[in-house]
Structure 1
Amino acid sequence: MFVALLLAQAIAAPVAATPAEHSPETRILIAPVASAIAKVRADQAALPPPKDDAEKLLRMRDLEQAPRAAMMAVDFQKIPPAERKAAYTAMWRQITPIDEANQKAVLEMLPPEGWFTISRYGKEASRAAFLIVQHGNVDLWRRFVPVLEPLAAKGEVEGRHFALMYDRLETTEGRKQRYGSQMSCKAGKWVPLPIEDPDNLDARRAKLGMEPYASYLAKNYSGPAPC
């Protein structure tokens, strides 16, 4: 949960400081992030060029997800407390250029309808585009939330993806979320950020094909580990 909180914070404000010197042990612990990036790049370099934009989106997704998965697997409890921030910064500095390049590419690839719809690009490619934009900044969320909303209503975008981006934009700008996806760590426990009209939360989630909120919390936030 410690790493999850750091990731959530960095999505909103990526760290740009120069990392301090790491101990040999810490360098070993964080090395899988660079290794994951190198492996995906090597694997993709051996492939023929993407046959279409859908395949290009999937490759971009693989490149951005690999180092995140490696980071989530790092046992931060084994890193001395004095080195944790610098270690995290060092890993994030490797991910940020990938994110920025992916976001630039997505904007250049945008079709006339303004998004990569499921019917045209497939569910996985549409999801890949969502991940890339979701890992962007508030300007991207402002641009795409109104684009995704009607598409989600028509099933051309997964409802949960629209909900996540909508909630992230609202909470980042100091407003209440609508679908309950955004959490905060308080006293070692994950708690939802303020939700508008909570009595009708499940009805709103159901319209987007999302599970009841109690089930969502039990599945994702009921573990024994503190945040």
Structure 2
Amino acid sequence: MSSKSLLMLAAVLVLLPVSLSAQQISKAPAAASESSWQAAIKARREQLIQQNGPGTDVALRNQLLAMRDKDQAIRGFAGGKQVSGMTPDMIAKMPATDAELTQELKQIVDQKGWPTISLVGIDASNGAMLVLTHSADHAWQAKLLPQLEQLADAGRIDASQLALVIDKELIAEGKLQRYGTQFKFVNGEMAMYGVEDPGDLDRIRARALLPPIDVYKQTLSQIYHLKASNAIVSPTSPTAKEN
């Protein structure tokens, strides 16, 4: 990655938390052989598929999968794997792409409710959650969270995908995150936003079928070509941002 690209990437990371989806983590180069957390994610995925089926709305499934692919393409991913670095053009277009996908997802939710696994299948349902994770509309995220947590508790959506949305919303509200998924670019490195229970973080992540934090940091470093440090960043309250 060129120095110009790094500078533009830095500008993006200052404004936006850095995080990875469960799909990106499970297929990242860091995971050369299947570990216990990967096996748990695979088993949970199969359980959700058996419980909910492949989905009944084929047209909506295809629409959401196309939206997921567009979300990932602007970030240099295809099929859950990194296929290109972050170019200045991609970085410049990302906010508009996220806004466009947010609007499209809002229309879907208004017309058909949240895309559950039983409605569109697990991949498309997770694609909807990925779009929500990258949305800049924090008020809409916050409004949806109670419903999404109920769906996750009932096994109607993938809870591991929801963890990223929960953390992003907590950070937006100036609160400590729960699962340690959100990082920020600081002094040439990526630093994790503070978490509610740092001493028990790996167990909390395991309950959400997320990998240990060290694995997550390693994969972040490989994808963004920046060190994930041990520094902790305090979230900034909305009031402080305004002043």
After TM superposition, the score normalised by the length of structure 2 is: 0.60
Q: Is the 8 A contact 1:159 1:208 kept in 2?
A: yes
- Looking at structure 2, the residues matched to 173 and 219 of structure 1 have their Cα atoms a distance apart, in angstroms, of 26
Asked if structure 1 preserves the Cα contact closer than 8 Å seen for 2:125 and 2:157, the reply is: yes
CA deviation digits over 1:39-84, x for unaligned, max 9? xxxxxxxxxxx953222222233344333438x73544xxxxxxx9
Paired position in structure 1 for 2:72: 65
Which of 107, 110, 120 is the matching residue for 1:108? Answer: 110
Structure 1 unmatched ranges of 5 or more: 13-49, 77-83
Separation in 1, partners of 2:191, 2:94 = 25
Q: How does 1:148-167 map to 2 (within 5 A)?
A: 148-167=148-167
Name 2:3's counterpart in structure 1: none
1:118 matched residue in structure 2: 117
1:56 paired with 2:63, answer yes
The 1:157/1:4 distance shift into structure 2, 3 A limit, reads: farther
Do the aligned partners of 1:61 and 1:132 also contact (CA within 8 Å) in 2?
yes
1:151 offset after TM fit, Å?
A: 2.5
Q: Is the 8 A contact 2:58 2:120 kept in 1?
A: no
Structure (1 or 2) with the greater helix fraction: 1
Structure 2 counterpart SS, 1:215? helix
Structure number having the greater strand percentage: 2
Q: Which residue of 2 aligns with 1:42?
A: none
Q: Residue 156 of structure 1: CA displacement?
A: 2.5
Change (3 A) 1:74 1:193: closer
Q: Aligned ranges for residues 82-93 of structure 1 at < 5 Å?
A: 88-89=91-92, 91-92=93-94
* Bigger relative contact order, structure 1 or 2 (CA pairs below 8 A, ≥6 apart): 2
How far 1:102 moved relative to its partner? 1.5
Q: Measure, in 1, the Cα distance between the counterparts of 2:188 and 2:62.
A: 41
Q: Highest CA radius of gyration, 1 or 2?
A: 1
The residue aligned with 1:38 is none
CA positional deviation for 1:120? 3.2
Q: For the aligned residues, what is the CA RMSD?
A: 3.3
Q: 2:101 aligns with which of 99, 102, 114?
A: 99
TM-score by length of 1: 0.64
Tell me how far apart the structure 2 counterparts of residues 179 and 192 of structure 1 sit (CA, whole Å).
11
2:193 equivalent in structure 1: 193
Is contact 1:102–1:132 with CA below 8 Å preserved after alignment? no
